[in-house]
Structures are given as C-alpha cells and as structure tokens.
A and B are shown apart, each in its own frame.
Chain A
Amino acid sequence: MSLVFFRPRARVLPGFGLALGLSLAWLALIVLIPLSAVFAKTFTLSWDGFVAAVSAPRVLASFRLSFGAALAAALVNVLFGGIVAWVLVRYRFPGKRLVDALVDLPFALPTAVAGITLTALYSANGWIGRVLEGRFGWKIAFTPAGVVLALVFIGLPFVVRTVQPVLEEAERELEEAASSLGANGWQIFARVIFPTVLPALLTGFALAFARATGEYGSVIFIAGNMPMVSEITPLFIITKLEQYDYAGATAIALVMLLASFTLLFAINLLQAWTRRRAGAG
C-alpha cells in the first residue's frame, strides 16, 4: 500500500477527464452544434441562390452601413480611447477612480438601455440633439451618423482597456532617456510611446470593430432603420426571419459569421504580437 504513495501518478491532479468531458459536451451542445446549423442551412441553397441572397441591393447597403459605421466608430475609439487611457494612466485629477470605473459602463449597461438613452439625447428635442440641430443643423438620430454614435459608445471600453495595461507597464525611463538626449515631446511620442502602444491600439481597434459589426440593441433605436439608408445587417436578418425567409436570413448570417471569425483570427494574432512586444520590452 505504501508504494502507491510514492508512485509519480499520485502527484497528478485528478479530474482531468471529468472536467474536459463536461467542457466539451457543453461546448458542443450550446455553441458548436447550433452554430453548425447556420452552415447546414445555407447549404440547402444553391450557389446561385446564395449569391442572389447576399448580393441583393438592400443587403449590400446594409453591409456597407454595418461595416462602414463600425470602421468609423472604431477609428473614433482609437483616437479618444487612446487619449482616455493615457490620461487615466499618466495624470492625476479629482474623481479619477470613479471615471476609471465608469469606462466599463458600455460593457455593463444593457444595449437596449443605451439605445433608447442615446436616441432620447440626440434626437431633435433631446438635451444634446437640440443644440446640434438648432445651432448647427446637424441631424444625428435617425441617420447613419446615429449608428456611428451608438457604435462609438459600445466600442469605447475595448480600446481603453487594451491600451491601459500596456501604458502602465511601459518603461518611462526610455522617455526620460530620449528627453535627456534632446528629443522634444513630439519626437518622444512618435518614436518611443507610439511604437510601444501600437499593437495594443490595433488590438483595441479590431475588438471594437468586431463588436460593432454585429451590434444590434444599441443601434436599432437611434438608426431610424430606413431600408438602403440606415438599416444595419443584423436588423435585416430579423426582417428576413419575420418574412419566414429562413434560408435568406441564414445566408446573410453566414457572411457575417465568416467576417467575425476572420476578425477573431486577426485579433488572436494581434494579441500574440502585443504580448511579444510587452515581453521583449
């Protein structure tokens, strides 16, 4: 009996089979089998039928809006998310901890609440919309600009939360060294700081972009949902479903899924790059 005690096997943690089995079963049941239905359903269409379903003018217009607005919003987020991250890491100001905690609000606030609130604020008689429309004649709600606005809200934490830890880890000695060697502020930013945070900025951009392409709840209230103008792809999928055109809805969904998977792959590569950069520094 005492021999069992010294066998190396006794050191190996138990539960691997159970834990892996449970994980794989749950993963297959909830994620893999249901997702495979999208592919299976699309294969019931002929190739021509598939092409016709995903290249109808109204579908193409929705792709342009969903991907275009997501791109615009992600760019805004890179700029302002980068500044917010910088300010939160480098400067001290009153209420900083509260501001830092609130950056995650778009993660925590249900999208429908965000949607109706932004619509109320930016429509013609809202707090902000009244000023923009009355003073400048800018219409935000119920136009594509409203879609971008909602997507900026949704994507904000992604950039801040990927750039923040990189800035915290960044060695400030490098900046001081550059400064004592005679570099001015702009040179230090361009040659020292920017290269350090670039992988994180790109990762944050990709995460915000990926999230924004599929976003639904925060957008549909403010978009106005006019076919060809302000109708996002997820909404069009729902419209197709309501018309019982399951194959058509699924074909469009497949295009979106493939785009998401491509982005996921790109994000994995970017994150690996970020880690290598951080490790090398």
Chain B
Amino acid sequence: MSARRIESRWVRAALVTAALSFLALFLFVPLAAVFAEALRKGWGAYLASIADEEARAAIRLTLVTAGIAVPLNLVFGVAAAWCIAKFEFRGKSVLLTLIDLPFSVSPVISGLIYVLLFGAEGWFGAWLQEHDVRILFAVPGMVLATVFVTFPFVARELIPLMQAQGREEEEAALVLGASGWQTFARVTLPNIKWGLLYGVILCNARAMGEFGAVSVVSGHIRGETTTIPLHVEILYNEYNFAAAFAVASLLAMLALATLAAKSVVEWRLRAAKELA
C-alpha cells in the first residue's frame, strides 16, 4: 500500500504552498474582509444597518422571492427528473440541454428577456398597461427572473441520482398494489431526499443572492423592489460602506450555511451510496 512518491518533497511543498496561497488570496482573505468591513464601525452600527427599515424591507422581499421561486422549481425539478430518469423517450437529450440553458445565459440577459415580454414596448406591455397589471419593476417580474436563473438546480441534482437508482423498487411497489402517488411518497421520495435537499439548498442560495437578473427588472424602487443584494449595491454606491458590508455579511453567512449544509448532505449521500 505504501505508494512510492514520484515527486520529491520539495515539489509537494511547493504545490501545497501555491494552492493554499492562491486560495487564501481569492477565497479566505475576501471572506474575512466581508466581516471585518462590516464591523469596522462597531457592533452598534452593524446592528443598526441590519435593523434599518429599508434593510428589513429588502430582507422581507428576498424571503418572499425565494419563497415563491424555490417551491416552483422544486415541483418542476421533481417532475423533470421523474420523466427523464425513469422513462425512455425521444428527444430526451434535447430536453436535458434545454433544462441547463439558464445556466449559460448571462444574468443581465435573464432579466432582459422579461423586459422584452412585459416592458412598455414588450409583447404583453400594452395589454398589461390597459389592465393595470404591473409585472416589470415590481415583485412579479423579480420572482420570474429568479425562477429563470434558478430553473435547473433541483432537476440537475435529481436526474443523475434517480438514474443511478433505476426503477426496480418502484416497479416492485406497483406490483404489490401501491398506487402511483403512494409509490412516489413511500419509495422514491425516501431514496432521493438528500439529493432533493441538496438541490433546494443550492437553488435557495442562488435565489436569495441573485443580482444581475433582478437588477434589470427591479427598477430599484427603494424599500419596494430591492432585495438584499440590490440594497447592498445602493448602500455601496452611496459610499455607505460599513452598512453595505453589514447587510452583505448576512448573505455571506447564508453562503457559509449553504456550504456547511452541502458538506453534510454530501457526506450523507456518500454514506448512502456505500451502504447500497
């Protein structure tokens, strides 16, 4: 078992140093800087920036947007994974590529497409104006843009997992007399719960942190159509750096929580795989 090292100890030390210095410069120092900048004016100012009325409105809107976008993409993700992983049909690989499409579109274009649909000059612009429905520069537009950018997350986690699990267990349940929904709830769901959770965590992190797409459709109406990232931008552009970083630190904590949850879920997934 004692694998002979091909590279000398010096090469090894140099590689570890290069990797860690690179990561320090690009990851560790920036992460520390968020919190250092946030606390530059002390805990009092930090808490005041977060308790500020506009900050609270931004937090509320972020929760609402993610609260709508994530469940919608959860349902879609499960449906897409069910038909792609458990059935054979023509055009499957095309469907897979189309599901991934939002990942390769620039965030700004993800917002632009809804401006083209619902803006004053857009396809539905005149009709919406006539009926006094506001989508663009209002919450519905921001939800739509968020749904677009988080579209593939759940489906992408579930499809390889469900493909690997095959369909014997479901078929057995059906033969034993379970209904379709019973099979899904008692057989499929327990098998995919960790992957599902993983997808939801990633989807939620992106939904709460999305900047470019919602920036295009938000109209930046303070206290009304600003999510947390947009509020950070406003504070920063007003040279209110300590407050900007204080609010940004909430998002950094969300990111750290996401990474922690991701590590736990990955560990559970690996444990489940080793058991199988």
> Which residues in A have some Cβ–Cβ distance to B below 8 Å?
10-11, 13-16, 18-20, 22-24, 26-27, 30-35, 37-38, 40-41, 80, 83-84, 86-88, 91, 93, 97, 99, 101-114, 116-118, 120-121, 126-128, 152-153, 156, 172, 175-176, 179, 185, 188, 210, 213-217, 221, 234-235, 237-238, 241, 246, 249-250, 253, 256-257, 260-261, 263-264, 268
Contact = CB atoms under 8 A, between A and B. Distances in A.
B79 A19 contact: yes
A11 B180 CA distance: 11
Contact of B106 (A40, A107, A128, A256): A256
Given A110-B211, A188-B6, 19 more contacts: A11-B175, A27-B98, A30-B147, A30-B148, A38-B113, A40-B116, A91-B15, A101-B260, A105-B27, A105-B31, A107-B202, A110-B208, A111-B229, A117-B248, A121-B29, A221-B236, A237-B112, A238-B215, A263-B104
B229 A264 contact: no
Interface in B253-276: 254-256, 258-260, 262-263
A87 B99 CA distance: 34
A128 B29 contact: yes
A19 B80 contact: yes
Given A13-B167, A83-B18, A153 B30 contact: yes
Nearest to A84: B19
Interface of B: 3-4, 6-8, 11-12, 15-16, 18-20, 22-23, 25-31, 33-34, 37, 72, 75-76, 79-80, 82-83, 86-87, 89, 95, 97-102, 104-109, 112-117, 119, 121-123, 144, 147-148, 151, 167, 170-171, 174-175, 180, 183-184, 202, 205, 208-212, 215-216, 228-230, 232-233, 236, 241, 244-245, 248, 251-252, 254-256, 258-260, 262-263
Given A80-B19, A120-B241, A34 B184 contact: no
Contacts of B34: 113, 117
Contacts of B83: 15-16, 19-20, 23
A54 to B, nearest CB: 14
B23 to A, nearest CB: 6
A99 B97 contact: no
Which residue, of A20, A112, A241, A250, has the highest number of chain B Cβ atoms within 10 A? A112
Contacts of B89: 16, 20
Contacts, number: 274
B13 to A, nearest CB: 10
B75 A13 contact: no
Contacts of B31: 102, 105, 109
Given A19-B79, A27-B98, A110-B210, A13 B174 contact: yes
A80 B96 CA distance: 31
A275 to B, nearest CB: 12
A210 B89 CA distance: 30
B23 A246 contact: no
A268 B80 contact: no
A31 B98 contact: yes
A70 to B, nearest CB: 11
